[in-house]
Amino acid sequence: MGYMRICFVTRGSLEDYAKNNAGSKADLLCFSFQALGEVSYERELKGETSLFEDVALLSKEEQNIVVCGCFTDARGIRRKSVVVAEKGRILGVSDMAFRIDAGEYRCGAGVKIFDTGAGKIGIIVAEDLYFPRVIETLSACGAEIALCIFEQQEGSLEQTIMRAHAFLYGVPVCVCAYGFAQAADIAGKLKFASPQSPCFYDFEREQEYHLIEIRQRGLYRRKKSGF
């Protein structure tokens, strides 16, 4: 099925990486939330900042895909988001779909899969990792890998969820958080974990399908009478 080389950057800014680690030879660069920090859509549109442009430029310089977490501000509505760029072009921004207990960050709309030259990449934003519907949707829609951009992990909880999701929904899952990166395969096994930044993981594409049947009540249809 082929390999995808992923470089996880779990510390430092996007600018720091561009200055000190150019030429990674990775198919995909994955940054946690510390890389961009706060992004104001209004200031971006006015040209006062160019943070999304920096992501696009890095993907152009490296000739690969860049996935980067950030905190977006749309006229006071703040969200946890992930921007995706490929070879100089912004493919889109995915927002966290679930909001827990009226938290500081608002929820966005839907989950996204980005069809790239390296494969179909499903994005999980922060605490969306805790909701099985997100990975279930990515799996049903054909994602080859699920990348979760997280803030900071709390013990082993995120690793346990990551492994369970990969096994239950047949999609390899990677988590890039502040200070730590890890990955699980579709057997639910931990394939990679590292506190180093940057660190590299050679992801092997795996897809396996099974026929699942279930009996359930409901969907009643009256039998048609004969003519």
At 155-167, the pLDDT tens digits run 789 999 999 999 9
Per-residue pLDDT of 173-214, as tens digits, reads: 999 999 999 999 999 999 999 999 999 999 888 788 888 898
Q: Residue 227 — pLDDT band, cuts 50, 70, 90?
A: low
144 within 8 A of 171, measured Cβ to Cβ: yes
pLDDT score of 1? 53
* Whole-number pLDDT of residue 217: 86
User: What is the Cα 109 distance to its own chain's centre?
Assistant: 15
Per-residue model confidence as pLDDT tens digits over 13-69: 998 888 887 667 899 999 999 999 899 999 999 999 999 999 999 999 999 999 999
Q: What is the DSSP letter of 173?
A: E
Q: Would you say residue 149 has pLDDT above 70?
A: yes
Cis peptide before 198 (omega within 30 of 0): yes
